[in-house]
């Protein structure tokens, strides 16, 4: 679901006019809808109700404290990939004993921090990591709870940069070696085998790959249960969302798969996997990131120039690839709409940022209503892998993030100042 719609010709997020947010906090700026995040969480949680389950929000998708706090209040767990993310979760009121710690490169410091805070499970990606966690736990006089990330060699049918479950990817332990690596773990004195984990990729729009991975893993888990005290199976994240033109094509139910777009709903997802996972009789963890927050965000921006060349119309805006890198990195497609609704005939244009890279675009040859300097636009569905992947490239300050809840807006992160840009730097005397 999402909560961006035109009311009387102006675009709103829930009860707040986006123009009002732009007037108050300037552009570019990120806006998030609390109702969308809550709605998505509750809908997925309800779809998974037949399972003894825990939703562990993948923090890397959007790690603003206000977003994490909102999810913590819904009793969400968290999937973290660094010590920094654990720090954020704790700051936001989340519980360490509802955290799973993923990632192929955990450092000793991160492992020690997570052990002391009492994370629910380390999701381990290699034998080297098993040995290191055992070592750190031993030196602290603790036992580390672990699950091994098993790579089922399934094609998630998604962009190659966000596919993780094929045997050629760097993630996890191949399913054919899983039994052997569990034996290695069982022989390490400072580890406690607690579960099994998998994650096949991101932005997956069909239930087929999920069903295939669930079936492959369920067979393995049944086997492992005979030898070890397995308490949970963690099925990872990856549920895809719709990025297509919804608002502009006037199909309000697009995000429910009722429009022209292909879309996996939480109910489709649940139906594909519950029959396979329920008989395991275990606690099942899920790690959705994008699904919970992707459609909840918009990037507000102001048109600076309209540049006409013999080949194209370039609409140059004040946001850039350093603020939202998905188009440049994954050929990500985002719907772009003016804050003031327009019925003018659309013209094809490239919407680009000011950064000195040809990859700095938000849309190419996109039919949009004609835009003028100072017009404001929203780049929709940018709540996941948006702000979190931003940088100071071109010495551009990081953007503010505003959380809308009903008719209230909260500045969840201030815009960086020029001083912030050089903080910590110095010139040798
Ligand atoms: C990135 C990631 C997720 C979340 O993926 P989404 O596509 O955002 O749902 C979950 N689990 C792991 C291990 C990840 O790396």
Total structural domains within the chain: 2
Residue with the bigger pLDDT between 160 and 144: it is 144
* Predicted pLDDT of residue 245: 67
* Predicted pLDDT of residue 1: 62
* Predicted pLDDT of residue 256: 42
Please tell me the distance between residue 201's alpha carbon and the centre of ligand 1 in angstroms: 7
Task: Say if residue 197's pLDDT is above 60.
Answer: yes
Q: Looking at 287, 322, 343, which one is the last position of a domain?
A: 287
Out of 13, 56, 99, 356, which one is annotated catalytic? 356
Q: Answer yes or no: is 27 within a domain.
A: no
Work out whether strand 336-338 and strand 283-286 pair parallel, antiparallel, or are unpaired: unpaired
Q: Answer yes or no: is 123 within a domain.
A: yes
Q: Looking at 287, 322, 341, which one is the last position of a domain?
A: 287
* Predicted pLDDT of residue 251: 47
Helix axes 34-47 and 266-277, enclosed angle (nearest 10): 30
Do 255 and 330 fall within a single domain?
A: no
Q: Nearest 5°: CA angle at 395, between 394 and 398?
A: 110
Local structure of residue 374 (DSSP, 8 states): T
Q: Write the pLDDT tens digit of every residue in 118-138.
A: 999 999 999 999 999 999 999
The model's confidence at residue 252, banded by pLDDT at 50, 70 and 90, is: very low
Task: Say if residue 382's pLDDT is above 90.
Answer: yes
Residue 32, strand partner residues? 297, 403
- Among 298, 316, 320, smallest CA distance to 373 is for 316
* Predicted pLDDT of residue 159: 67
The model's confidence at residue 31, banded by pLDDT at 50, 70 and 90, is: very high
Q: How many CB atoms lie within 10 A of CB 359?
A: 12
Task: Say if residue 164's pLDDT is above 90.
Answer: no
- CATH label of the domain that carries residue 300: 2.40.37.10
* Mean pLDDT over each residue of the chain, to the nearest integer: 94
Please tell me the distance between residue 340's alpha carbon and the centre of ligand 1 in angstroms: 35
Please tell me the distance between residue 307's alpha carbon and the centre of ligand 1 in angstroms: 39
* Predicted pLDDT of residue 253: 40
Q: Answer yes or no: is 83 within a domain.
A: no
Q: Answer yes or no: is 241 within a domain.
A: yes
Local structure of residue 139 (DSSP, 8 states): H
Q: Answer yes or no: is 196 within a domain.
A: yes
Q: Answer yes or no: is 344 within a domain.
A: yes
Do 249 and 367 fall within a single domain?
A: no
Which H or E run contains 16? strand 16-17
- Mutation test of ligand 1: which of 81, 206, 237, 288 has the most ligand atoms closer than 8 Å to its C-beta? 237
Q: Answer yes or no: is 34 within a domain.
A: no
Q: Is 13 a catalytic residue?
A: no
Please tell me the distance between residue 273's alpha carbon and the centre of ligand 1 in angstroms: 17
Do 391 and 371 fall within a single domain?
A: yes
Task: Say if residue 257's pLDDT is above 50.
Answer: no
Q: Write the pLDDT tens digit of every residue in 321-375.
A: 999 999 998 889 999 999 999 999 999 999 999 998 888 999 999 999 999 999 9
Residue 13, strand partner residues? 4, 16
Local structure of residue 201 (DSSP, 8 states): B
Q: What is the mean pLDDT of residues 229-237?
A: 98
Task: Say if residue 406's pLDDT is above 80.
Answer: yes
Task: Tell me how far CA of residue 16 lies from CA of 21, 154, 387, 422, in angstroms.
Answer: 8, 43, 21, 34
- Among 231, 237, 307, 177, smallest CA distance to 56 is for 237
The model's confidence at residue 227, banded by pLDDT at 50, 70 and 90, is: very high
Do 168 and 240 fall within a single domain?
A: yes
Do 282 and 322 fall within a single domain?
A: no
What pTM value is reported for the model?
0.95
* Predicted pLDDT of residue 125: 95
* Predicted pLDDT of residue 173: 94
- CATH label of the domain that carries residue 280: 3.20.20.10
Q: Answer yes or no: is 375 within a domain.
A: yes
* Predicted pLDDT of residue 342: 94
Cα 337 to its chain centre, rounded Å, is 22
Do 399 and 331 fall within a single domain?
A: yes
Do 260 and 138 fall within a single domain?
A: yes
Domain of residue 222, residue span: 102-287
- Mutation test of ligand 1: which of 55, 59, 78, 79 has the most ligand atoms closer than 8 Å to its C-beta? 79
Do 151 and 180 fall within a single domain?
A: yes
Do 320 and 200 fall within a single domain?
A: no
| Residues in the ligand 1 pocket, defined by CB under 6 Å | 58, 60-61, 79, 102, 199, 202-203, 236-239, 287-291, 384
Ligand 1: atom nearest CA of 149 is 13
Do 183 and 309 fall within a single domain?
A: no
Residue with the bigger pLDDT between 246 and 238: it is 238
- Among 105, 59, 63, smallest CA distance to 78 is for 59
Do 189 and 230 fall within a single domain?
A: yes
* Predicted pLDDT of residue 162: 67
Do 109 and 246 fall within a single domain?
A: yes
- Among 388, 292, 298, 284, smallest CA distance to 72 is for 292
Q: Looking at 287, 311, 333, which one is the last position of a domain?
A: 287
């Amino acid at each position: 679901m999402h909560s961006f719609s035109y009311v009387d010709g102006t675009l709103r997020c829930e009860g707040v006019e986006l123009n009002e947010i732009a007037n108050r906090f300037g552009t570019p700026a990120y806006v998030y809808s609390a109702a969308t995040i809550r709605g998505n969480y509750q809908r997925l949680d309800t779809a998974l109700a037949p399972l003894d389950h825990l939703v562990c929000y993948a923090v890397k998708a959007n790690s603003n404290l206000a977003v994490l706090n909102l999810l913590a209040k819904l009793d969400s767990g968290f999937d973290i990939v660094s010590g920094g993310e654990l720090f954020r979760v704790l700051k936001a009121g989340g519980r360490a004993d509802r955290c799973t710690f993923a990632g192929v490169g955990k450092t000793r410091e991160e492992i020690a921090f997570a052990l002391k805070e009492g994370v629910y499970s380390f999701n381990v990606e290699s034998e080297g990591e098993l040995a290191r966690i055992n070592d750190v736990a031993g030196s602290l006089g603790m036992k580390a709870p672990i699950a091994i990330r098993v790579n089922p060699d399934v094609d998630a049918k998604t962009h190659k940069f966000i596919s993780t479950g094929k045997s050629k990817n760097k993630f996890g332990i191949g399913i054919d070696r899983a039994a052997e690596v569990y034996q290695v773990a069982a022989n390490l004195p400072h580890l406690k085998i607690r579960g099994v984990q998998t994650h096949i990729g991101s932005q997956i729009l069909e239930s087929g790959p999920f069903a295939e991975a669930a079936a492959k893993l369920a067979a393995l888990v049944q086997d492992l249960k005979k030898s070890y005290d397995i308490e949970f199976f963690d099925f990872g994240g990856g549920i895809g969302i719709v990025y297509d033109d919804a608002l502009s094509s006037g199909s309000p139910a697009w995000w429910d798969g009722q429009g022209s777009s292909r879309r996996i709903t939480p109910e489709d997802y649940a139906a594909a996997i519950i029959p396979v996972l329920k008989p395991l009789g275990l606690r099942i963890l899920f790690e959705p990131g994008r699904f919970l927050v992707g459609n909840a965000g918009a990037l507000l921006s102001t048109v600076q120039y309209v540049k006409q060349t013999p080949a194209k119309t370039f609409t140059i805006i004040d946001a850039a690839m350093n603020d939202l890198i998905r188009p440049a990195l994954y050929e990500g497609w985002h719907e772009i709409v003016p804050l003031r609704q327009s019925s003018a005939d659309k013209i094809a244009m490239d919407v680009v940022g000011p950064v000195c890279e040809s990859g700095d675009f938000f849309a190419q040859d996109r039919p949009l209503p004609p835009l003028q300097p100072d017009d404001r636009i929203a780049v929709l569905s940018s709540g996941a892998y948006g702000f979190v992947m931003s940088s100071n490239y071109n010495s551009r300050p990081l953007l503010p993030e505003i959380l809308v809840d009903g008719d209230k807006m909260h500045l969840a992160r201030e815009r960086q100042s020029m001083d912030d840009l050089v903080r910590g730097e110095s010139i040798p005397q």
